Structures are given as C-alpha cells and as structure tokens.
Copies of this chain bind each other. A is one copy, B any other.
Amino acid sequence: MLEQLGKQAKEASYQLMNISAAEKEAALLAIADGLEENIPAILAENKKDVDALKAKGASEAFIDRLTLSEKRIRDMADGARKVNQLPDPVGEVLGMTKRPNGLVIGKKRVPLGVIGIIYEARPNVTVDAAVLCLKTSNACILRGGSEAICSNSVIVDTITAALKKVGLSEHSVQLLRDTSRETAAQMMKMNEYLDVLIPRGGKGLIQSVVQNATVPVIETGTGNCHVYIEKTADLAMAADIITNAKTSRPAVCNAAETLLVDEAVAEKALPKAYEAMKEFGVQWRGCERTRKILPQIQPATEEDYQTEYNDLILAVKVVSGLDEAISHINKYGTGHSEAIITNDYSASNRFLNEVDAAAVYVNASTRFTDGFEFGFGAEIGISTQKLHARGPMGLCELTTTKYIIYGDGQVRR
C-alpha cells in the first residue's frame, strides 16, 4: 500500500515539475475555497477525533491542538491564500558560467520531488504542509498523528478534490491513512520514492525519525537557547530582552532557557532582570554565585543547564567572561538561537563568530528566530542541523538545484 502511495507520488511529482505559476495559483485558491465550502463536513469528522480523544482522557492542551472550529478552518484557508501570494522560488537560475570549452553551465532551482512529512495530531499542519509543498511544486505524503485520522482524511479529500478540479494529479497530496507505527517506520525507509523526510512536532517524534530514517531528514526543533549579559551591556535593555526571551511564549523552541551573566555586572544585572520578570511568575534556578546575590532562588543543577524547559523556569549562571559564556553555550546549547547583550564591538564579533548556532543575536531577543519574523512569508520549521537548511526554513528550503548544461557538441578528452 505504501509502495503504491510512493509510486503515485513520484508520478505526480513529474507532473508538478512542469506546471505553470497560474496552475499553482488555481490549485491553492481551489484548496482554500474547498476548505471553506466543506466546513460542516470537516467539523463533523473532527468531532469524531475529539470525542475519541476525550473518551481516552487526554490532556486539555492535546485536545485543544486537535480541535477545529469554523474560525480555525477559515484561518487554514487564509493561510493557503497567503502562501499563494508569495514569490515562487522554482525555476530561478542561480548564476550561469561559461567554461573555456564553451559549455554554459547554470544552476537551476527545482522542486525536491516527493516530500514525506510526519507530524502529530494537529490537523492544521495537514493543510500547511500540503500548501507549502504544492507552492514549491513538490508532491507530498503526509503521515499525521493517529488521533487526527478522521480530520486529516476529510481535509486531504477536500484538497484532492480541489486538485482534480483544476486538472492536477490527485496524488500530489496523499495521506497515509494507516497510522500504525509499523507503517510509519516503513515510510522512513522509502528511499526509492521519498526525496526528503521532515518531522514536525515534539522532541520524541523528531528523534524517532532521526534514529530510524534512511531517507534524508531535515531535523527541526529543539532549542536550549541562552541570553548572555556581557559586562558592557545596557542593563535595562538586558532585563527587557531576557524577560521577553523567557516569558513571551515559553513553550516554543526559540524561548530562552538559561541566562548567563558576566561576574563584573552580576550584582546589578541579576536583581534588575529578576525584578523585570517577577510579574510573570518565572522560577529562577541559579548557580552558587547567583544565589549569593539572589538568596531567595533555588539552586541550579547540571541537569538544569541541559534542559529545554519550555516552561516559566530559568536557569542562571554567573560566568567569568566571554570565553566561559561561549564555551557554556557551545557545550549545552542545541544550536538554535543564542543572544549576547553588549556594547563592546569585539565581544559582539567574537560571539557572532564563535557561537555555533543557527541564529546568533546581538542585542535582540532569541524569540525572533521564525520564518515570518525573518521575512520569508512562510515557515516549514526551524532546522537545527547543518545540512541543506539551518535556521528558519522558507519556501526555498523546499527546493533543490540541478545543473543545466548547454553545449554544441563538446566531448571530454
């Protein structure tokens, strides 16, 4: 069955390689319209999923992520319309050179082909992933969480009906309706048909894909991010930034988890930052030196520095200076987003150069690491690996390149 899905996706990907911008536009708009027209049916199917999950006694947060409303469906449709308006990256030729033998060699941006997306029980990801893949002329095979199978089925049926309406292969977007673990494991090894696999979701899901896939994976997600207050920092700015980085949305991957402070300014900087985030109820856990300044807080353990809390908890450490800050970050960080607050030119340069992460900030909150904030107009995820894409991924990251070579009879001697 999976083999069949793979073959069909590959076939569809060849058709998608050659469709025009107008055809893509028609498809994305038809999908948006289709979703809105099908609101009652989608809500009905979603209710089945939600009821089943409630009966199982799942957490409120889990149920909330799964639950659709008329507004949420309209937002999904609007999302498709917004992606439609983005510039199409496919077809651009990134430079063309003429070789001494007369060959003209260009590097052309082309679709990846077939993208597999494995995600959790969030039906909005179904639309989002399908739309981003179509916009970049890729076919996709979607494997969503089993708890959302009724919702995902009706959504994908809506999408394929729209595709058929505008004359595109219905196999451009396919859902893996058998949501067993075995089939997911098989999908991760489908190298013949899948060009790339993108896991979207929590740490467990992503690690399972990284550990088991033989298809090339783009790893997204985990963020143990730091803010470092260097000794020349504007301390009001520092308090403002660490408060924002910690509290504006603690559950997301670009939130800060550890505050590092230069010993030269710790006595002033720490109480200021502590005061600034008091109203948000953040629990601080500090090293010994931090606790000399703020005796009321809990001690931090080695484990605290390793933890991505995704919660209103902050680990705090006083460091001897830039060197210790950089090596702490390179040791404990997950290569996501790191910030220095400083007014020293050379410290800012060293931090930018020596911290090994996808996004490195001077005097700004780590919370900006995001495809929309970076101006990409879309986001597939935030890559924390170094191959292919690093940091927020926009439409370009769903493409690859091919060399196109124009000759007039050249042979190699």
Contacts and interface: CB of A to CB of B under 8 A. Distances in A.
Contacts of A373: 99, 412
Contact of A357 (B99, B211, B217, B402): B402
B352 A385 contact: no
A18 B354 contact: yes
Q: How many copies does the complex hold?
A: 2
**SS class, residues of chain A in contact with chain B:** mixed
Given A97-B375, A113-B386, A103 B400 contact: no
A367 B412 contact: yes
A412 B112 CA distance: 33
Interface in A383-413: 385-388, 390-392, 400-413
Give the contact-size bracket for chain A: 35 or more
Contacts of A18: 353-354
Given A387-B216, A402-B359, A404-B360, A411 B241 contact: yes
B364 A113 contact: no
A124 to B, nearest CB: 22
A105 B374 contact: yes
Nearest to A237: B409
Contacts of A234: 409
B216 A214 contact: no
Q: Which of A243, A356, A367, A406 has the most CB of B within 10 A?
A: A356
B364 A405 contact: yes
A388 B387 contact: yes
A364 B244 contact: no
B112 A386 contact: yes
A358 interface: yes
A8 interface: no
A402 B390 contact: yes
Given A368-B410, A411-B248, A412-B248, A360 B403 contact: yes
Contacts of A216: 216-217, 219, 385-387
Interface of A: 14, 17-18, 97, 99, 103, 105, 112-113, 191, 195-196, 210-211, 214, 216-219, 234, 237, 240-241, 243-245, 248, 330, 352-354, 356-365, 367-369, 373-375, 385-388, 390-392, 400-413
